[in-house]
Structure 1
Amino acid sequence: MMAQQYTWLHIGLGSFQRAHQAWYLNELIKSGDDAWAIAAGNIRNDSEHTIEALLAQNGEYVLETVSPHDEREYEVIRSIKKPIRWQADLAPLIEEGAAENTKVIAFTVTEAGYYLDSRYHLDQDNPSIQADLKGGHETIYGIIAKILKKRMQLADGNVTLLCCDNVRHNGERFHDGLVEFLTLTGHLDVIDWLKDHATTPNTMVDRIVPRPAEDLPARIQQQTGRIDQAPVMGETFIQWVIEDNFKDNVRPALEKVGVQLVDSVIPYEEAKIRVLNVPHAAIAWAGTLQGELFIHDSTLNERVRQAAYDYVTQDVIPSLGDNGIDLPQYRDVVLERFTNPHIKDTNQRVAADGFSKIPAQIQPTLIERYRSGARPEATALLPALFFVFMEQWHEGRLPYTYQDGILDEAAVHAMYQSADPVKVFAQDKALFGELADNADFEALLREKIEEARTFLIF
């Protein structure tokens, strides 16, 4: 008798998913557990070259991992059994999501892809959200709403919706955004169904995965003999922590391959966001101002590294307190990971989406330090660096194209053309929440922007 076969649908078939979740599922398959297979596709038509390459290779590709000491390993990943071609109505993706044997729908759409404001409500002014409120499917909410509508017709439509992005309390934030979206579109029946038939666990994901280097296919062919048009690379380090709240407990046996299934993700999530994600972005902004193009060069720049180190040491560790994680050790491990010269992670990739990262990842530390009676000088330097970084963007002087899913170009240009750009920046509630009304915070930001300007060498 053949064992039950399940599908894990992943929306957002990018390098990170293929070097992270797909690797874990591949480990299960290697162990002899082949009950789960991945189907994957995209909401947007921007990665079809990868899809076509995967289809031509039977879904297989090579993952290269590399340590800071240039220890490289090559592995064929075979867990993506069904790459899904993009089409305008997303019908193949919706059909896969609505299949009864699809029991997990996971997604990686980046922080900006949740379109949440500083109060974690949907940004209804965003054109993509507006399009989806009118029946479109440009966002994760639009596509999931259409999938759930179809799943309601199944005899067993129960499903786990698994957010795999660096959003704090990501499962809860996605759930609340989805419910708000369904309310605005009048799909109250889907909201009622959601309560009994789906879960949205919180997760924490971690592996540095740069855009594949141009010479990666040639290196893989030389090392393995395989011709691969869709390889990926990542650092050796990998971690995945998931709140063990899968619907009906139907899930792969991920704990057998190193995934941490826990009651609460929060301690891991907070440590990762504040000790890894925030310094990563800050190093990219500051390193760019210092004329660097790669994360490892920027981290090896003593002044840039010190800014990241001071932020964690002076503000994050006091904010998080004793959360069961050795935070000083974690800080040092993270900064060492950033110095890996073989990953060749770019400042351009990591600097992206600053307008989402500041409210989601930096604002909480600023607010907590103020509430505790401390003046968060080390943390305030980070948005100050972003201000100077974006000033260079405004003047057309960045060495690369800045990418941001919620960038309002006209508003940013208007800010720098105003009589007092720092005031406009400091009083932006979308970025700084309650601190937008704090006179001392504005004064602190002015001080730190002057300091940030001294990083600028071009």
Structure 2
Amino acid sequence: MKQQHLTWMHIGAGSFHRAHQAWYLNQLLSKGDDRWSIALGNIRDDATDLLNNLAHQHGEYVLETVTPAGKRAYEKIRSIRTIVPWDKQLSALTQQGSDPATRVISFTVTEGGYYLDTHFKLEAGNPDIKADLAGQATTIYGALSKILHQRMQLNSGKVTLLCCDNVRHNGERFHDGMIQFLETKGDQELLSWMNNNCTTPNTMVDRITPRPTADIAPRVKEALGIDDLAPVMGEAFIQWVIEDNFVAGRPALEKVDVEMVESVVPYEEAKIRILNASHSCIAWAGTLIGLNFIDESTRHQDIYKLAYEYISEDVIPSLTPCPLDLENYRDVVLDRFSNPYIKDTNQRVAADGFSKIPGMVTPTLDDCYNRGSVPKSATALPALFFLFMQRWHQGSLPYNYEDGILDEAAVHAMFNSPDPIAVYARDKKLFGLQANNADFEALLRQQIKQLRQWAHSHLSEPVA
């Protein structure tokens, strides 16, 4: 009997998927397990050149990895077998997603891409969401609504919807957002179908993957003799933790060191609060003193100290007890950020701060106050972001700031108000319960004052 070939469709033709999930499935291929392959597509028309280049190469490309010691390795990735061309109606993506052979649909969404407020309610008034409620497909909800509708109509069977991003409880958050989207739209038929035919496991993903630069292709050419139009690079470190709740089968991911678990919570909390939050801290701080890259920012003694103290003094006590060795995890993370060969930009990591503060930082503020501790080190992060956005307001950031939920008018109004810090500190979307905490506001004022003086004194200081 001939073995059925199954498809894992991924939405989001960015570097991270090609350096992470595609790598894991490629490891299975290299072990002789070719039951699954990837179909790669995009919701928006911002990756057409990449998709065309991948199509020209039959989905194949080279992944370059590099260790903190500078050891580079090259691997040809062959797990992407189908390139889904973009069209405005997402007809090709919908066709692929509704194919009965497609059993997993994964996606990588930025923190702002879920369009959820701090109470995890769908921001139905957002222009993108309003457009999709009216029948367009510019968000993950609109796109999957089209795909699942056709899947339901064609009776294509059950499918796992898998988040591959940095959002805490991402499967639950996506599920809640999707349900609210369908309820708001009044689509009870699809709502019922989804509840009976889809699962949305939580996941934790990790591999630092900067945007590709022009110098990767020449190194690939020198190492392998290949003219690659779509190479990608990332750090050597990689991790993937998934709740084992696939409703329609899955690849044998446990055979390639994916951690299949009942709950991702301890892994997720450690990564989000230690890695993701300190990553943003370093990006904001580095930008404020004129640095361009994460590695040089991390190696700046004062910035390293900010991140180290934030983790040691406020995060680790908040996460203890934990099955992970948090001190070791902290040290490994900061060593990875210091990798001088990655050249990840502060611009990339600084993005989406209005989602990152409530998602990655405020929980630690809450935990500290709940146990009677003053979160001095943790408050440095929202203080840095305030100073960072003040530069944005003044038009003096050295790059374009990207944020999926940035309300430009509101931010300008905040900085034009008589007391911008008060407006910022009392923002419930950012700080939840602490928005009513006078002690937090006073501490935030103190940290902003100190860090403003620090940034001014260190601007454009050379890094050893």
Shorter-normalised TM-score: what interval? over 0.9
Aligned pairs for 1:7-406 within 5 A:
7-248=7-248, 250-406=249-405
The whole-number CA distance in structure 2 between the counterparts of 1:400 and 1:152 is 44
**CA separation in 1, counterparts of 2:69 and 2:173?**
38
Once the two structures are TM-superposed, the CA of residue 396 in structure 1 deviates from its matched residue by 1.3
Q: Do the aligned residues in 2 keep the contact of 1:64 with 1:233 (CA within 8 Å)?
A: yes
TM-score, structure 2 normalization: 0.97
Q: Give CA deviations for 1:81-123 in whole Å, capped at 9, x if unaligned.
A: 1111111111100111111110000000211111111001111
SS at 1:403 equivalent: coil
Tell me, yes or no, if structure 1 residue 415 matches structure 2 residue 440: no
What is the CA distance between 1:77 and its match in structure 2?
0.4
Q: Shift of residue 290 of structure 1? A: 1.8
Deviation at 1:370, TM superposition (A): 1.0
The number of residue pairs the alignment matches comes to 457
1:240-289 deviation per Cα after TM superposition (whole angstroms, max 9, x unaligned)? 000000004x0000000110000100000000101100000000000111
Shift of 1:2: 2.3
**1:455 Cα deviation after fit:** 3.1
Contact 1:66 1:235 in 2 (8 A): yes
The yes-or-no answer on 1:438 pairing with 2:437 is yes
Q: CA deviation at 1:155?
A: 3.8
Aligned with 1:153: secondary structure?
Answer: helix
CA distance in 1, matches of 2:91, 2:155: 21
Deviations 1:206-258 (A, max 9, x none): 0000011211111111111100111000000000000000004x000000011
Kept after mapping to 2: 8 A contact 1:36/1:252 = yes
Is the CA contact (8 Å cut-off) linking 1:103 and 1:158 kept in structure 2? yes
CA distance in 1, matches of 2:127, 2:228: 37
Give, as a single letter, the amino acid of the residue that structure 1 aligns with 2:106: A
What's the offset of the Cα at 1:356? 0.8
| CA distance in structure 2 between the partners assigned to 1:350 and 1:380 by the alignment | 19
State how far apart, in whole Å, the 1-side matches of 2:150 and 2:347 are: 39
- Conserved 8 A contact 1:182-1:191: yes
Distance 1:157 1:151 in 2: 7
Structure 2: 5+ residue stretches without partners: 460-464
Cα distance in structure 2, aligned partners of 1:439 and 1:125: 31
Distance 1:96 1:454 in 2: 55
CA drift of 1:454 comes to 2.3
> TM-score, normalising length from structure 1?
0.98
Q: 1:156 deviation in Å?
A: 4.5
How far apart are 1:357 and its partner, in Å? 0.4
Determine helix, strand or coil for the equivalent of 1:214: coil
1:33 partner SS: coil
3-state SS of the aligned residue for 1:454? Answer: helix
Listed as ranges, the gaps of 5+ residues in structure 1 are none
Q: CA separation in 1, counterparts of 2:454 and 2:161?
A: 43
Q: Does structure 1 retain, via aligned residues, the 8 Å contact 2:99–2:156?
A: no
In 1, Cα distance between equivalents of 2:455 and 2:11: 39
RMSD between superposed Cα atoms in Å: 0.9
State the partner residue of 2:454: 455
2:434, 2:94 → 1: CA distance?
Answer: 42
Q: Could you tell me which amino acid in structure 2 is paired with residue 424 of structure 1?
A: V
**1:51 maps to amino acid:** L
Counterpart secondary structure, 1:222 = helix
Q: C-alpha offsets along residues 25-84 of structure 1, whole Å, 9 cap, x if unaligned?
A: 001011100000100111111111100100111100000000001100011101111111
Q: Is the 8 A contact 1:204 1:242 kept in 2?
A: yes
CA contact (8 A) 2:64 2:72 kept: yes
- How far did residue 154 of structure 1 move? 3.7
User: What letter is aligned with 1:9?
Assistant: M
Identity of aligned residues (%): 59
- After TM superposition, the runs of 4+ consecutive aligned structure 1 residues lying more than 6 A away are none
